[in-house]
Structure 1
Amino acid sequence: MTAAASARQILTRLHEVMASRMHAQGKLDQVVEIIGESLDSEVCSIYLLREGVLELYATRGLNPQAVHVTKLGLGEGLNGIIASNIETLNLAEAKAHPDFLYRPETGEEKFHSFAGVPIVHRERAVGTLCVQHVDPRRYEDVEIEALQTTAMVLSELIANAEMVDEEHALLLGEVDTGPEIIEGLALVKGLGGGQAVFHQPRIQITQVVADDTEAERQRVYRAFDKMRDQIDAMGKEPEFGKGGEHVEVLETYRMFAYDEGWSRRINEAIDSGLTAEAAIERVQQRTRMRMREIDDPLLADRMHDLEDLSNRLLRIVSGQIGTAAGQGLRRDSVLVARNLGPAELLEYDRRRLKGVVLEEGSLTAHMVIVARAMGIPVVGRAKGLLRRISDGDEILVDADNGTVTLRPSPQMREAFDMRFAKTRERQAAYAELRDVEPFTRCGTRITVMMNAGLRDDMSALAMTGADGVGLFRTEFQFLVSSTLPQRDRQTRLYKDVLDAAAGKPVIFRTVDIGGDKAVPYLSSDIAEHDENPALGWRALRLALEREGLMKSQARSLLEAAAGRTLNVMFPMVSEPWEFDTAKLVFDEQLDWLRKQRKPLPEEIRYGAMLEVPALAEVLDELLPRLKFMSIGTNDLTQFLFAADRANPKLAERYDWLSPAILRFLARVVRGTMGHEIDLAVCGEMGGRRLEALALMGIGIRRLSITPASVGPIKELVRKIDLAEITAAMQGWLASPPPDMRAALRHWASEREIDTD
Structure 2
Amino acid sequence: MPTTSAASAREILTGLHEVMASKASAQAKLNKVVKIIADAMASEVCSIYLLRDGLLELYATVGLNQSAVHVTKLALGEGLVGSIARDVAVLNLAEAAGHPEFAYRPETDEELFHSFAGVPIVRKERAIGVLAVQHADPRAYDEIEIEALQTVAMVLSELIANAGLADRAVQASDPARDAGTARLMGLRLVVGMARGHAVYHQPRILIEHTVAEDIEVERHRVLSAFSRMREQIDAMTGQAEFGTVGEHQEVLETYKMFAYDEGWARRINEGIDSGLTAEAAIERVRQRMQQRMRQIDDPLLADRMHDLDDLSNRLLRIVSGQLGTAAQMSLPQDAILIARNLGPAELLEYDRRKLKGVILEEGSLTAHVTIVARAMGVPMLGRIRSVRQQIAEGDLVLLDGTAAVAWARPTPAVAEAFDTKLSASQRLRAHYAAQRNLPPVTKDGERIMVMVNAGLRDDVAALAATGADGIGLFRTEFQFLVSATLPRRESQTRLYRSVLEAAGDKPVVFRTVDVGGDKQLPYLDGGDEREENPAMGWRALRLALDRGALMKAQARALVEAAAGRELDIMFPMVSEPWEFDEAKALVEAQRAWLAERKKMVPRAVRYGCMLEVPALAETLDLLLPKLDFVSIGTNDLTQFLFAADRSNPRLAERYDWLSPAILRFLRRVVAQCDAAGVRVGVCGEMGGRTLEALALIGIGLKRLSITPAAVGPVKAMIRSLDRGAAMAELDRLLAAPPPNLRAALADFAERQGVAVG
Check 1:626–1:699 CA distance in 2 against 1; reply closer, same or farther (3 A cut): same
Structure 2: distance between partners of 1:719 and 1:315: 60
The answer to whether structure 1 residue 553 and structure 2 residue 554 are counterparts is yes
Deviation at 1:594, TM superposition (A): 1.6
Structure 1: distance between partners of 2:639 and 2:8: 61
Q: 1:736 matched to which residue of 2? A: 737
Deviation at 1:411, TM superposition (A): 3.8
Secondary structure of 1:516's partner? coil
Matches within 5 A, 1:208-219: 211-212=216-217, 216=221
Kindly indicate whether the alpha-carbon contact (under 8 Å) linking 1:308 and 1:341 is maintained by their aligned counterparts in 2. Answer: no
Q: 1:203 matched to which residue of 2? A: 206
Matches within 5 A, 1:454-603: 454-525=456-527, 528-603=529-604
Check 1:480–1:619 CA distance in 2 against 1; reply closer, same or farther (3 A cut): same
User: How many residues were matched structurally?
Assistant: 581
Kindly indicate whether the alpha-carbon contact (under 8 Å) linking 1:175 and 1:389 is maintained by their aligned counterparts in 2. Answer: no
Structure 2: distance between partners of 1:173 and 1:440: 49
340-349 vs 579-588, greater mean Cα deviation: 340-349
Structure 2: distance between partners of 1:707 and 1:448: 10
Q: 1:445 matched to which residue of 2? A: 447
Q: 2:722 matched to which residue of 1? A: 721
Q: 2:645 matched to which residue of 1? A: 644
Check 1:317–1:743 CA distance in 2 against 1; reply closer, same or farther (3 A cut): closer
Check 1:737–1:544 CA distance in 2 against 1; reply closer, same or farther (3 A cut): same
1:651-682 Cα shifts (integer Å, max 9, x gaps)? 23311111111111111112113323210011
Check 1:595–1:698 CA distance in 2 against 1; reply closer, same or farther (3 A cut): same
TM-score (norm 2): 0.64
Deviation at 1:516, TM superposition (A): 1.4
Q: 2:615 matched to which residue of 1? A: 614
Secondary structure of 1:651's partner? coil
One-letter amino acid matched to 1:421 = S
Structure 1: distance between partners of 2:374 and 2:635: 22
Secondary structure of 1:412's partner? helix
Q: 1:653 matched to which residue of 2? A: 654
Structure 2: distance between partners of 1:632 and 1:383: 31
Q: 2:431 matched to which residue of 1? A: 429
Matches within 5 A, 1:24-173: 159-160=150-151
Secondary structure of 1:580's partner? helix
Structure 1: distance between partners of 2:475 and 2:351: 30
Deviation at 1:492, TM superposition (A): 1.5
One-letter amino acid matched to 1:725 = A
Kindly indicate whether the alpha-carbon contact (under 8 Å) linking 1:451 and 1:705 is maintained by their aligned counterparts in 2. Answer: yes
The answer to whether structure 1 residue 711 and structure 2 residue 712 are counterparts is yes
Kindly indicate whether the alpha-carbon contact (under 8 Å) linking 2:573 and 2:613 is maintained by their aligned counterparts in 1. Answer: yes
Structure 2: distance between partners of 1:337 and 1:543: 32
Structure 2: distance between partners of 1:317 and 1:664: 55
Kindly indicate whether the alpha-carbon contact (under 8 Å) linking 2:179 and 2:411 is maintained by their aligned counterparts in 1. Answer: no
Secondary structure of 2:619's partner? helix
Check 1:424–1:530 CA distance in 2 against 1; reply closer, same or farther (3 A cut): same
1:567-613 Cα shifts (integer Å, max 9, x gaps)? 11011111111000011111111122122222211111110011111
Kindly indicate whether the alpha-carbon contact (under 8 Å) linking 2:181 and 2:408 is maintained by their aligned counterparts in 1. Answer: yes
Check 1:307–1:433 CA distance in 2 against 1; reply closer, same or farther (3 A cut): farther
Q: 1:148 matched to which residue of 2? A: none
Secondary structure of 2:553's partner? helix
Deviation at 1:400, TM superposition (A): 2.7
Check 1:353–1:661 CA distance in 2 against 1; reply closer, same or farther (3 A cut): closer
Matches within 5 A, 1:37-436: 159-160=150-151, 175-194=177-196, 200=203, 202-204=205-207, 206=210, 211-212=216-217, 216=221, 277=279, 315-316=320-321, 329=332, 354-357=356-359, 359=361, 377-388=379-390, 394-436=396-438
Kindly indicate whether the alpha-carbon contact (under 8 Å) linking 2:631 and 2:682 is maintained by their aligned counterparts in 1. Answer: yes
Deviation at 1:557, TM superposition (A): 0.8
- Which structure 2 residue ranges, 5 or more long, are not aligned? 13-39, 42-83, 95-121, 126-143, 158-168, 230-255, 294-298
Kindly indicate whether the alpha-carbon contact (under 8 Å) linking 1:175 and 1:387 is maintained by their aligned counterparts in 2. Answer: no
Secondary structure of 2:715's partner? helix
Deviation at 1:551, TM superposition (A): 0.7
Structure 2: distance between partners of 1:317 and 1:462: 42
1:197-229 Cα shifts (integer Å, max 9, x gaps)? 7784652373799614897499989x99xxxxx
Deviation at 1:538, TM superposition (A): 1.1
Structure 1: distance between partners of 2:448 and 2:597: 41
Check 1:477–1:309 CA distance in 2 against 1; reply closer, same or farther (3 A cut): farther
One-letter amino acid matched to 1:649 = R
Structure 1: distance between partners of 2:630 and 2:312: 43
Kindly indicate whether the alpha-carbon contact (under 8 Å) linking 1:277 and 1:317 is maintained by their aligned counterparts in 2. Answer: no
1:704-738 Cα shifts (integer Å, max 9, x gaps)? 11111111111111111121111111122121122
Secondary structure of 1:525's partner? coil
395-404 vs 340-349, greater mean Cα deviation: 340-349
Secondary structure of 2:675's partner? coil
One-letter amino acid matched to 1:732 = L
Structure 2: distance between partners of 1:681 and 1:738: 26
705-714 vs 515-524, greater mean Cα deviation: 515-524
Deviation at 1:412, TM superposition (A): 3.0
Structure 1: distance between partners of 2:367 and 2:578: 36
Deviation at 1:621, TM superposition (A): 0.9
Structure 2: distance between partners of 1:616 and 1:373: 29
Structure 2: distance between partners of 1:410 and 1:693: 39
Deviation at 1:481, TM superposition (A): 2.0
Deviation at 1:353, TM superposition (A): 6.3
Check 1:281–1:423 CA distance in 2 against 1; reply closer, same or farther (3 A cut): same
Structure 2: distance between partners of 1:324 and 1:477: 19
Structure 2: distance between partners of 1:663 and 1:172: 47
One-letter amino acid matched to 1:498 = L
One-letter amino acid matched to 1:206 = T
1:283-342 Cα shifts (integer Å, max 9, x gaps)? 999xx99xx999xxxxx99x9999998776555469xx998997875x866566667899
Structure 1: distance between partners of 2:693 and 2:577: 29
Deviation at 1:17, TM superposition (A): 11
Deviation at 1:406, TM superposition (A): 3.4
Larger Rg: 2
Secondary structure of 1:679's partner? strand
Structure 2: distance between partners of 1:564 and 1:463: 24
Kindly indicate whether the alpha-carbon contact (under 8 Å) linking 2:221 and 2:319 is maintained by their aligned counterparts in 1. Answer: no
Check 1:353–1:455 CA distance in 2 against 1; reply closer, same or farther (3 A cut): closer
Structure 2: distance between partners of 1:442 and 1:367: 40
Structure 2: distance between partners of 1:493 and 1:213: 50
One-letter amino acid matched to 1:513 = V
One-letter amino acid matched to 2:206 = I
One-letter amino acid matched to 2:150 = A
Secondary structure of 1:753's partner? coil
One-letter amino acid matched to 1:625 = K
Kindly indicate whether the alpha-carbon contact (under 8 Å) linking 1:453 and 1:476 is maintained by their aligned counterparts in 2. Answer: yes
Kindly indicate whether the alpha-carbon contact (under 8 Å) linking 2:375 and 2:707 is maintained by their aligned counterparts in 1. Answer: no
Q: Give the superposed CA RMSD.
A: 5.2
Structure 2: distance between partners of 1:542 and 1:653: 30
1:457-498 Cα shifts (integer Å, max 9, x gaps)? 111111011111111111122222222211112112111211
Check 1:626–1:51 CA distance in 2 against 1; reply closer, same or farther (3 A cut): closer
Q: 2:16 matched to which residue of 1? A: none
Structure 2: distance between partners of 1:468 and 1:755: 23
TM-score (norm 1): 0.64
Structure 2: distance between partners of 1:461 and 1:419: 27
One-letter amino acid matched to 1:433 = Q
Deviation at 1:693, TM superposition (A): 0.8
Deviation at 1:692, TM superposition (A): 0.8
Deviation at 1:413, TM superposition (A): 3.0
Structure 2: distance between partners of 1:15 and 1:323: 37
